Amino acid sequence: MTIKFSQEQLQTIRTHAENIYPQECCGIIIGYMALGKTVVEVILTENVWSIETAFDFPTDAKKDGKTPDVLNKSRRYAIAPEIMLKVQKEARSSSLNIIGIYHSHPDYPAIPSESDRILAWQEYSYIIVSVPNGKAGEIKSWHLNDTHQFQEEAIEIA
Ligand SMILES: [Zn+2]
């Protein structure tokens, strides 16, 4: 499967990533599936990663919950569940869906981390933009296979 973006949509993600650097930015990708996935809208969201959200997620964060690293938004991201719900509702009212989530990797390649993999949902594409030294670089899209491993998915530019 491929995922199709416009130049403007990719630029929106890059700009968001640069503005939030050195923290991770995140957002929601709205679109539809026909032969491949087509992006209709990119929605910027706040990174709400915190000690509280850390405990909501089934990761290593639980056992390391007391360490300051878990609060570090340069390595983790979370989108508030109520925002996900609101965006899903709005998308459905226009016959669209949430088809993916994007986030940035400050000073790290555009490949999913182990926590990205553990927290990922089967239905979504995961778009990651690498931000070396505050400048948005490579953007890659990933989706899970049947054994919950990430595979790269081609980004088409409309
Ligand atoms: Zn990540």
Chain segment 61-82, per-residue pLDDT in tens: 445 544 445 567 778 899 999 9
Residue 51 has pLDDT above 90, yes or no: no
For the segment 46-73, the average pLDDT, to the nearest whole number, is 62
Threshold 0.75, pTM exceeds? yes
Tokens 């909501």 sit at which residue? Answer: 56
Question: Can you name the residues that pair with 151 across neighbouring β-strands?
Answer: 143
117 Cα to the center of ligand 1, angstroms: 8
| Residue (of 20, 6, 3) closest to 136 by Cα position | 20
How confident is the model at residue 69, as a pLDDT?
A: 57
Domain boundaries, the chain: 2-157
Question: Domain 2-157 - what CATH class?
Answer: alpha beta
68 Cα to the center of ligand 1, angstroms: 18
120 Cα to the center of ligand 1, angstroms: 10
143 Cα to the center of ligand 1, angstroms: 13
Residue 20 has pLDDT above 80, yes or no: yes
Residues, beta carbon < 5 Å, ion ligand 1 = 113, 116
